[in-house]
Amino acid sequence: MRRAVVAVSGVVGAAVLLAGCTSGSSGSNSPQSSAAASSSSSQQLDTGTFATTARAPFGVAKAGEIPPLESQRLAEFTTLPQEIDSRFSKPAYPIGALVNSTSVNDMFGLSSADTSVSGVAIDNGLTSGYYGSAGDLNSTSDAPGASITHGVIRFASPDAASKAAQGMYDALRTAAKTKTGDPTSYQPFSDPALPNSLVLQSPASAGGGKLKGLTALTAHRSYLIVDLFVGPPTENNGVRDLRRSLDLQIPLIDRFPATPLKGGRIQQDQNKILIYALTNPNPRTALNDGVYGPRGYAFTRNNQVQAMQQLEEAGAEHTAVAGTTVFRASTQSAATTLFNQLVAADGSSPAASPSGLTSAKCLGDGEANTCYVQVGRYIGQTNIGGDLKQAQQQISAQYKILLGADQSTPN
């Protein structure tokens, strides 16, 4: 997916819009579909240096591997920004798992050297978390619109979550003052609609920005719900959106089947789909090297609610995100529908398909290129970015891997 960005604010926690990240029926499960038929042998495809065989099966996660895996599971129980407000239809930075000080700083827009806020989270036993951002599709750097960063952090106990909320609130206020150079910028804020939240308010003038903001920290059981809202000074929708966030997130997180902190085990790639995705050359990308449900994956797409619904309708219960993205629908015909939806939602102009693989669809906008291919119930999508030749090589390699994918694997 393309990663060109447009800055929308100078205040702490403001989202940065991503440019160009977009978003069951019966049918045969045979490995070749009309969308994947190729007139020439796969042996002749140019796959560059990319792997052309599936990875070895993953085992039970080791202790250090559990936090990101638990965060991926938590993504399926985290409210989408567009569910909070329908205008938040454009995915944005920051986004991803919350597993260490770097990821916490990313969420709050703090430098990697500033451990004042993240240190509180770590000291109080942060175990996992997930968050995402989105903004107004019509927002520009000259006329920034509203946006929100929303996430959930899991701690070891309700007491730890409450202590983290207060400590992060105090530290965030100090850190925000330091960043903006304005000692009066971030002030405590209260509203009857948010009786259990710790909230900071920043005016549009903070740090020379164009947006005013509300940052809310709400402890709920062993979780900390985080909302960072910014909007134009001419509107007053922050409290409304923060209240709706809590109304949606609290019942959703109450359903999360959390892995026990002591003795808990997670089988990596238990649905056997990540083995078919190419390896991720950059482990610090937003979604890491993992598997997501329809909701978790929808954080990366335009019109998140629609994208989630399309994945659910296709029966694509698990999506692998690594060097490539691999979807698996319930049937071949459902995969064809989803393939067409993904291509249509890309929004870029058609680009050349790989030589010998005319069934692959490539699209580009002059800065980035993405290719898609379908093989039976599976769909592959490149994540490599700008170079068309590399995207063509990558989708050719992905195609060869999917030719050997198990079409009978249940979702």
- pLDDT digit string, tens, across residues 220-271: 999 999 999 999 888 889 999 999 999 999 999 999 999 999 989 999 999 9
What kind of fold does domain 63-253 have according to CATH?
A: Protein Transport Mog1p; Chain A (3.40.1000)
Question: Which residues lie closer than 8 Å to 31 by C-beta, 6 or more apart?
Answer: 375, 376, 403, 405, 407
CB 191 within 8 Å of CB 260: no
Across the range 119-138, mean pLDDT stands at: 95
**For residues 361 and 348, is the Cβ–Cβ distance under 8 A?**
no
Q: What is the mean pLDDT of residues 98-107?
A: 93
Residue 109 contacts residue 327 (beta carbons within 8 Å): no
| pLDDT of residue 196 exceeding 80 | yes
| Least confident span in 65-69, 128-132, 190-194 | 65-69
The whole-angstrom separation of Cα 4 and Cα 17 is: 9
CA distance 371 to 378: 14
Mean pLDDT, residues 32-56: 73
Q: Give the separation between CA 405 and CA 391, rounded to whole angstroms.
A: 21
Q: What are the φ and ψ backbone dihedral angles of 57, each rounded to 5 degrees?
A: -55, 145
Catalogue the E-assigned strands of 21-127. 88-97
Task: Indicate the domain borders of the chain.
Answer: 31-59+271-403, 63-253
Q: Is 252 exposed, middle or buried (0-12, 13-18, 19+ CB in 10 A)?
A: middle
Residue 132: band (very low, low, confident or very high) from pLDDT cuts 50, 70, 90: very high
Question: Within 97-203, where are the H helices?
Answer: 101-108, 118-123, 158-180
Cα distances (Å, whole numbers) of residue 26 to 294, 332, 376? 20, 8, 13
Three-state SS for 44? helix
Q: What is the mean pLDDT of the chain?
A: 86
pLDDT at 157: 97
User: Which pLDDT value is given to residue 356?
Assistant: 95
pTM as predicted: 0.88
Minimum mean pLDDT among 15-24, 258-267, 271-280, 384-393: which range?
15-24
> Is residue 362 within 8 Å of 391, Cβ to Cβ?
yes
More confident of the two residues 14 and 33: 14
